[in-house]
Amino acid sequence: MINNKSMFDLLCSFIWTRYVIILFIIIGLNRLMNHEITDIIITVVTVLLAVLAIPYMIRKLKFRDIVFYLIFVGVYIFSMRTNEAIIYSYLDENLVTMLFRYAPLYLVGVCITDKETVDRLHVVSLTSIFVNVLFIAFAARYLNQDTDYMSFSYYILPHICLVLFYAAKEKSIWDILASLLGILSIIIYGTRGPFLSIALIFLLYFMFYKKYRHKFISRVVAFILISAVYLLIIWFLIFYGPALSKIVLRTKILDNLTLSGFFFDNGRFEIFDVVMGGFAKDPLAVRGFAADRILTNSYGNLFHYSHNLVLEMLYSFGIIVGGAALINLFVNYFKGYYRCPDQKVKGLILILLCSNGLFKLLISSSFMLEPLFFLTIGICVGAIRAGQKPSKLRLGGEFK
- Per residue in 116-167, pLDDT tens? 999 999 999 999 888 887 777 666 555 555 455 667 778 888 999 899 889 8
- In the chain, the number of structural domains is 1
Say if CB 272 and CB 300 are below 8 A apart: no
Query: Is residue 160 situated within a structural domain?
Result: no
Kindly report, residue by residue over 266-321, the tens digit of the pLDDT: 667 778 888 888 888 889 988 889 888 877 665 445 447 788 899 999 999 999 99
What is the structure's pLDDT at 266?
62
CA 309/CA 366 separation, integer angstroms: 7
Q: Comparing 234 with 181, which gets the higher pLDDT?
A: 181
Q: Comparing 103 with 223, which gets the higher pLDDT?
A: 103
Query: Is residue 321 situated within a structural domain?
Result: yes
Say if CB 62 and CB 398 are below 8 A apart: yes
Half-sphere exposure for 106 (CA within 13 Å, toward CB): 22
Question: CA separation (Å) from 337 to 213, 225, 278, 349, 359?
Answer: 21, 24, 35, 6, 15
Say if CB 384 and CB 335 are below 8 A apart: yes
Continuous segment of H or E residues that includes residue 14: helix 4-16
Query: Is residue 101 situated within a structural domain?
Result: yes
Query: Is residue 258 situated within a structural domain?
Result: no
Which residues constitute the domain of residue 353?
4-114+268-392
288 SS3 class: coil
Say if CB 153 and CB 194 are below 8 A apart: yes
Say if CB 190 and CB 252 are below 8 A apart: yes
What is the structure's pLDDT at 393?
47
Query: What pLDDT band is residue 202 in, cutting at 50, 70 and 90?
Result: confident
Is pLDDT above 50 for 397? no
* Region of residue 210 (phi > 0: left; psi between -120 and 50: alpha; otherwise: beta): beta
Q: Comparing 393 with 32, which gets the higher pLDDT?
A: 32
Calculate mean pLDDT across residues 46-54: 90
What is the structure's pLDDT at 264?
56
Query: Is residue 181 situated within a structural domain?
Result: no
Half-sphere exposure for 242 (CA within 13 Å, toward CB): 9
Q: Name the residue among 206, 203, 138 with its Cα closest to residue 169.
A: 206
Continuous segment of H or E residues that includes residue 143: none
What is the structure's pLDDT at 134?
79
Question: CA separation (Å) from 134 to 125, 131, 149?
Answer: 14, 5, 16
Query: Is residue 173 situated within a structural domain?
Result: no
Query: Is residue 190 situated within a structural domain?
Result: no
Angle formed by the axes of helices 149-170 and 173-189, to 10°? 160
Say if CB 65 and CB 107 are below 8 A apart: yes
Query: Is residue 34 situated within a structural domain?
Result: yes
What is the structure's pLDDT at 265?
58
- Residue 122: exposed, middle, or buried by beta-carbon count in 10 A (0-12, 13-18, 19+)? buried
